[in-house]
């Protein structure tokens, strides 16, 4: 019985590794300049985790196979020198593995978070609230108006709480329910939440970042392919979470300029 | 017994005579200045709603008509009305259709039944932001029966949908049945007012409140006009 269990462990481990090795489920097309680094990081992580997983299952199966049919009066075998050394060794191996993943991941992480965006990156602000994303562009003056949460009024579509009556910078701000960006242009995404935690996830962009209430989070990316992609919230945020999405339209510079003009006229 | 029936007879006579001599208040609500341009509402995240609107909806906080008429203003008798406490037996209905509240402003009497229906293929979560009355919010998936509610106190309640942030409306809960909602060119009419002194109040969700004191002496039509100052932002 125990040997059957050992065999089952090995079979399950191998079967679960097959679709990964055969690349049965491929990631969606990458449309960002940094995406290759993220994909590489994911592959490395998958390889390390996969090898560790298979090794752990095989060792487990081996021990079950070898030591399960012990006679009732047989003497218990102990690990030579006690378990202390083994535990320390395991901690070191796992620690080194995690450190290595972190070190290899730095370049992907830094590319999005730590390096400053270039000087001509285009700022776009995104506000997440139950249960929609809204986007703001600074308008022709290139300056965002100040935010006044007490002025937020969705009935009159003052989604961000702007004060155009007193704040000149806010007057030409453009607010939209979809995100349009020019292709091959670096975007500096400024994120804040109106209420609870949310997340901004575009699979093709390889960007997934949480909104944290009270924190201004920012990241930057460059989209390289024209198209329409889905932005979804991947942080459970309440009743309408399933329906919290928006669209990202990557356009040519000309189309984007036209789009922006049209939005400004509304 | 005789005295009682006499009293009943006299009071009936008085009531019918007062109705016979009932006056009407009518007029127009207008604005001065330039109101902010209505903003287009983007419903692309809810395609089943977006496709119901051939031209995209715009914000309804300020709706204007010809000749500077201001619509969706609740004009009501705020004091002096003779029928306080008479709750109409018929319910008022608030419809959620195409991710929009219909009507935008729904006047009703205190304790009158309020029915809320969902005609859409998507879930709504209606959330009237009551401050004086009990506040609640209710989820209403497509195809579910109407929600039945009532409000016990007079209040102007802003209504929002917790799922679709652009949805916005107003419940105008009043202690009177003498009310009207300004339409078209801002016109309103309050009929069946027996002789007496009244305060007429006009309430607009963005521009605030105005009042006018009037006296109705006989079977007359009093003209009362309200002018609000528009906000450019």
The ipTM (two decimal places) reads 0.72
- Confirm whether B202 is domain-assigned: yes
Residue pair B128/B114 in contact (Cβ under 8 Å)? The answer is no
- Confirm whether B3 is domain-assigned: no
DSSP for A29-51 reads PP-BSSHHHHHHHHHHHHHHHHH
What does the pLDDT read at residue B5? 56
B123 touches chain A (CB under 8 A): yes
The neighbouring-strand residues paired with A198 are A211
Q: Do B165 and A178 touch (CB under 8 A)?
A: no
| Gap from B177 CA to chain A (nearest CA, Å) | 27
CATH number (domain holding residue B165): 2.60.40.420
How is residue B147 written in tokens? Answer: 């929600």
| Gap from A130 CA to chain B (nearest CA, Å) | 7
> CB under 8 Å to B66, separation ≥6 — which residues?
B184, B185
Residues of A with CB under 8 A from a CB of B: 129-132, 153-157, 159, 163-165, 176-178, 238-240, 243, 245-247, 266
**Widest distance between CA atoms in chain A:** 89
pLDDT tens per residue across span A240-257: 898 899 999 999 999 999
What does the pLDDT read at residue B232? 84
Q: Which residue has the tokens 């009936």?
A: B12
pLDDT tops 80 at residue A16? yes
Mean pLDDT of chain A: 92
Residue pairs spanning A and B at CB distance below 8 A: 67
Q: Do B162 and A157 touch (CB under 8 A)?
A: no
B158 touches chain A (CB under 8 A): yes
Q: Which residue of B has its CA nearest to A162?
A: B233
User: Do strands B147-149 and B138-140 pair parallel, antiparallel, or not at all (unpaired)?
Assistant: unpaired
The residue that leads in pLDDT, A266 or A90, is A90
Domains of chain A are 2-69+83-114 (no CATH), 122-265 (2.60.40.420)
Nearest by CB to residue B59, choosing from A131, A157, A178, is: A157
The H or E element spanning position B4 is helix B2-20
| Gap from B156 CA to chain A (nearest CA, Å) | 15
Q: Give the span between the Cα atoms of A218 and A227, in whole angstroms.
A: 23
pTM: 0.80
**Is residue A87 packed enough to be buried (19+ CB in 10 Å), middle (13-18) or exposed (0-12)?**
exposed
pLDDT tops 80 at residue A148? yes
Q: Do B163 and A243 touch (CB under 8 A)?
A: yes
B227 backbone dihedrals φ, ψ, rounded to 5°: -125, 120
Give me the count of residues in chain A.
266
Residue pair B120/B96 in contact (Cβ under 8 Å)? The answer is yes
Q: Do B61 and A155 touch (CB under 8 A)?
A: yes
Q: Do B168 and A238 touch (CB under 8 A)?
A: no
SS3 for A4? helix
Cβ contacts of A266 on chain B, cutoff 8 Å: 39-40
| Gap from A237 CA to chain B (nearest CA, Å) | 11
Nearest by CB to residue A156, choosing from B45, B61, B165, is: B61
- Confirm whether B9 is domain-assigned: no
Residue pair B179/B156 in contact (Cβ under 8 Å)? The answer is no
- Confirm whether B6 is domain-assigned: no
Q: Which residue has the tokens 């939209």?
A: A176
How is residue A130 written in tokens? Answer: 């139950």
Question: How many other CB atoms are there within 10 angstroms of residue A226's CB atom?
Answer: 14
Q: Domain limits at B112?
A: 19-229
Q: Which residue of B has its CA nearest to A164?
A: B233
Tell me how far the alpha carbon of residue A136 is from its chain's centroid.
22
Q: Encode A233-259 in three state secondary structure.
A: CCCCCCCCHHHCEEEEEEECHHHHHHH
Q: Which residue of B has its CA nearest to A167?
A: B233
* Mean pLDDT, residues A36-54: 90
Nearest by CB to residue A239, choosing from B139, B168, B232, is: B139
Sign of CA dihedral A84, A90, A96, A102: negative
Q: Give the span between the Cα atoms of B177 and B88, in whole angstroms.
A: 8
Cβ contacts of A159 on chain B, cutoff 8 Å: 165
SS3 for A104? helix
The neighbouring-strand residues paired with A202 are A207
- Residues 135-154 (B) with a CB less than 8 A from some CB of A: 139
- Confirm whether B7 is domain-assigned: no
pLDDT one digit per residue (tens) for chain B, 233 residues: 455 555 444 444 444 444 556 889 999 999 999 998 888 998 888 899 999 999 999 999 999 999 999 999 999 999 887 666 789 999 999 999 999 999 999 999 999 999 999 999 999 999 999 999 999 999 999 999 999 999 999 999 999 998 898 999 999 999 999 999 999 889 999 998 888 999 999 999 999 999 999 999 888 899 999 999 998 87
Nearest partner of B104 among B59, B149, B51, judged by Cα: B59
| Gap from B210 CA to chain A (nearest CA, Å) | 21
Q: Give the span between the Cα atoms of B63 and B83, in whole angstroms.
A: 31
Tell me how far the alpha carbon of residue A71 is from its chain's centroid.
53
Give me the number of domains chain B comprises. Answer: 1
- Residues 186-215 (B) with a CB less than 8 A from some CB of A: 205-206
What does the pLDDT read at residue B18? 46
pLDDT tens per residue across span A167-221: 999 999 999 999 999 999 999 999 999 999 999 999 999 999 999 999 999 999 9
Question: How many other CB atoms are there within 10 angstroms of residue A135's CB atom?
Answer: 23
B184 touches chain A (CB under 8 A): no
- Confirm whether B152 is domain-assigned: yes
Q: Do B162 and A239 touch (CB under 8 A)?
A: yes
Nearest partner of B167 among B119, B63, B96, judged by Cα: B96
Question: How many other CB atoms are there within 10 angstroms of residue A243's CB atom?
Answer: 16
- Confirm whether B1 is domain-assigned: no
- Confirm whether B8 is domain-assigned: no
The residue of A148, A155, A160, A162 whose CB has the most chain B CBs within 10 angstroms, and thus the best one to mutate to test that interface, is: A155
């Amino acid at each position: 019985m125990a040997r059957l269990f050992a065999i089952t462990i090995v079979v399950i481990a191998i079967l679960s590794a097959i679709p990964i090795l055969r690349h049965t489920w491929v990631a969606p097309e990458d449309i960002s300049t940094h995406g290759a680094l993220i994909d590489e990081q994911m592959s490395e992580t998958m390889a390390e985790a996969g090898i560790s997983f298979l090794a752990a299952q095989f060792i487990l199966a081996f021990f079950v196979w070898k030591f399960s049919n012990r006679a009732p009066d047989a003497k218990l075998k102990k690990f030579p020198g006690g378990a202390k050394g083994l535990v320390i060794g395991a901690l070191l191996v796992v620690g080194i593995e995690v450190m290595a993943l972190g070190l290899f991941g730095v370049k992907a992480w830094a590319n999005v978070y730590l390096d400053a965006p270039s000087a001509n990156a285009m700022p776009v602000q995104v506000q997440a609230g139950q249960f929609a994303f809204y986007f703001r562009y600074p308008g022709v003056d290139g300056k965002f108006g100040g935010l006044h949460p007490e002025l937020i009024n969705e009935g009159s579509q003052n989604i961000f709480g702007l004060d155009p009556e007193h704040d000149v910078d806010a007057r030409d701000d453009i607010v939209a329910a979809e995100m349009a960006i020019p292709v091959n242009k670096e975007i500096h995404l400024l994120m804040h939440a109106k209420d609870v935690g949310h997340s901004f996830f575009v699979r093709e962009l390889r960007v997934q970042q949480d909104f944290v209430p009270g924190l201004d989070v920012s990241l930057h990316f460059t989209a390289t392919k024209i198209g329409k992609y889905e932005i979804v919230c991947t942080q459970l945020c309440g009743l309408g979470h399933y329906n919290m999405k928006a669209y990202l339209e990557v356009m040519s510079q000309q189309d984007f300029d036209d789009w922006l003009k049209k939005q400004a006229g509304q | 017994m005789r005295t009682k029936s006499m009293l009943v007879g006299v009071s009936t006579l008085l009531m019918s005579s007062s109705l016979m001599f009932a006056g009407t208040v009518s007029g127009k609500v207008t604005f001065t200045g330039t109101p902010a341009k209505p903003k287009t509402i983007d419903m692309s995240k809810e395609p089943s709603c977006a496709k119901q609107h051939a031209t995209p909806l715009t914000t309804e906080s300020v709706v204007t008509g010809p000749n500077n008429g201001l619509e969706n203003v609740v004009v009501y008798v705020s004091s002096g009305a003779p029928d306080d406490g008479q709750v109409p037996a018929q319910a008022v209905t608030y419809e959620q259709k195409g991710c929009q509240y219909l009507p935008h402003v729904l006047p009703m009497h205190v304790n009158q039944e309020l029915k809320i229906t969902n005609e859409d293929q998507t879930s709504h979560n209606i959330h009237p932001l009551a401050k004086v009355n009990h506040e609640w919010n209710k989820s209403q998936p497509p195809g579910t029966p109407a929600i039945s509610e009532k409000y016990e106190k007079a209040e102007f309640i802003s209504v929002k949908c917790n799922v679709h942030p652009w949805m916005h409306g107003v419940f105008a809960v009043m202690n009177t049945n003498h009310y009207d909602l300004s339409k078209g060119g801002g016109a309103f009419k309050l009929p069946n007012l027996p002789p007496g002194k009244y305060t007429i109040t006009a309430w607009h969700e963005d521009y605030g409140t105005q009042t006018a004191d009037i006296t109705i002496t006989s079977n007359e039509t009093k003209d009362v006009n309200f002018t609000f100052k528009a906000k450019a932002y």
